[in-house]
């Protein structure tokens, strides 16, 4: 267990240290656990997580019931979306339960109980979702089998490396800014590479697609670009909080808000768009 080394690392933020007093932050704790929340803040997070859970359940029903409306060649895209829904439903349900058992209301604010809240569940879970989401696209655009395999391998490898390096980094979010930033930086390299791969794929391989699918692929690019970028922003929230500790419980709200919006766009909306592109291709192919 490390004492909080922020001042040593950056030489500023005396107010953080003041607020925390002599309290030593044990290694691995997430920011959410050292904050207190007004009912407004606490409920907002509960509502957001519950919205996420509902969105994934709803997405699951949608992807399963519309699978048959695409030609067989495109159906793996629906299956992969359904898989992502199952996985994200479980993880968000876990986050919600964790949130509810980690804090208790004392009539004024919500304070930590003998349980904690952790964002790390999400990271390990992305090891399932990110490979699925990226691979999924390959079933809709026009690629040769060889390119399919090659791109898939790159997607999976760089996706996992991005996630695992970020996962390590987030353990330092309260106890060591340098390590936190270093791992975040390494993760970002893989992230940029993935964006490069995706952009390349979309803008090169959508050529053969029918008009509506062609356009949809363009929208998908923006959906990915924006929604994926919310994850590193959520990662950075503890840094922002150390600059503005008066941010208080709103820091927690911001992070869960970013995660929820990112989850809904990068998984559900993305999947719906890809399905609609697949349907356009199926119509064109006379299905």
Ligand X SMILES: CC1=C(/C=C/C(C)=C/C=C/C(C)=C/C=O)C(C)(C)CCC1
Q: Which residues lie near Na ion (CB under 5 A)?
A: 104, 115, 122, 263
**Which of 9, 17, 71, 121 touches a second copy by CB under 8 A?**
121
Compute the CA torsion angle 34, 185, 262, 203 (nearest 10 deg): 180
The burial class, CB within 10 Å (0-12 / 13-18 / 19+), for 1 is: exposed
- Scanning 22-30, 146-154, 157-165, 208-216 for contacts with a second copy by CB under 8 A, the matching segment is 22-30
Pick what 127 binds: ligand X, Na ion, a second copy, none; C-beta below 5 to 8 Å, kind-dependent. Answer: a second copy
Q: Which is nearer to Na ion, 141 or 230 (CB)?
A: 230
Q: Is 79 in the site for a second copy (CB under 8 A)?
A: yes
Residue pair 129/87 in contact (Cβ under 8 Å)? The answer is yes
Largest Cα separation within the chain, whole Å, is: 70
| Strand ranges inside the chain, DSSP E | 103-105, 110-112
Q: Is 277 in the site for a second copy (CB under 8 A)?
A: no
Nearest CA among 8, 43, 94, 31 for reference residue 245: 31
The burial class, CB within 10 Å (0-12 / 13-18 / 19+), for 96 is: middle
Kindly state the number of chain residues that form the binding site for a second copy, as judged by CB under 8 A.
Answer: 56
| CA–CA dist 143, 241 (Å, integer) | 45
Binding mask 41-70 for a second copy (x = CB under 8 A): xxxx-xxx-xx-xxx-xx--xx--xx----
Q: Is 135 in the site for a second copy (CB under 8 A)?
A: no
Q: Is 134 in the site for a second copy (CB under 8 A)?
A: no
Q: Which residues lie near ligand X (CB under 6 A)?
A: 88, 126, 129-130, 133, 162-163, 166, 184, 187-188, 191, 228, 231-232, 235, 266-267
Q: Which is nearer to a second copy, 205 or 216 (CB)?
A: 216
Q: Please state whether beta strands 110-112 and 103-105 pair in parallel, antiparallel, or not at all (unpaired).
A: antiparallel
| CA–CA dist 244, 277 (Å, integer) | 44
| Binding residues for a second copy (CB under 8 A) | 1, 24, 26-29, 33, 38-44, 46-48, 50-51, 53-55, 57-58, 61-62, 65-66, 79, 82-83, 86-87, 90-91, 94, 100, 104-109, 112, 114-116, 118, 120-121, 123-125, 127-128, 171
């Amino acid at each position: 267990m490390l004492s909080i080394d922020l001042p040593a690392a950056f030489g500023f933020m005396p107010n953080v240290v003041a607020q925390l007093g002599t309290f030593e932050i044990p290694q691995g704790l997430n920011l959410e656990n050292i904050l207190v929340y007004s009912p407004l803040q606490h409920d907002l997070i509960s509502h957001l997580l519950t919205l996420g859970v509902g969105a994934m359940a709803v997405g699951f029903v949608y992807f399963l019931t519309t699978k048959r409306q695409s030609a067989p060649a495109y159906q793996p895209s629906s299956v992969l979306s359904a898989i992502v829904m199952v996985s994200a439903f479980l993880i968000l349900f876990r986050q919600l339960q964790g949130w509810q058992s980690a804090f208790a209301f004392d009539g004024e604010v919500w304070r930590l109980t003998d349980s904690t809240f952790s964002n790390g569940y999400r990271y390990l879970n992305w090891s399932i979702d990110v490979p699925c989401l990226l691979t999924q696209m390959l079933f809709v655009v026009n690629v040769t089998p060889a390119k399919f395999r090659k791109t898939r391998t790159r997607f999976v490898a760089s996706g996992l490396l991005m996630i695992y390096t970020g996962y390590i980094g987030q353990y330092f979010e309260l106890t060591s800014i340098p390590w936190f930033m270093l791992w975040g930086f390494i993760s970002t390299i893989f992230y940029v590479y993935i964006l490069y791969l995706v952009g390349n794929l979309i803008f090169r391989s959508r050529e053969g697609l029918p008009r509506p699918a062609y356009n949809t692929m363009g929208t998908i690019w923006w959906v990915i670009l924006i929604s994926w970028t919310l994850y590193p922003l959520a990662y950075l929230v503890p840094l922002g909080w150390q600059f503005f500790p008066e941010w208080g419980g709103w820091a927690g709200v911001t992070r869960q808000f970013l995660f929820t919006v990112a989850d809904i766009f990068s998984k559900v909306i993305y999947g719906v768009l890809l399905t609609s592109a697949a349907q356009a291709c199926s119509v064109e192919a006379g299905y």
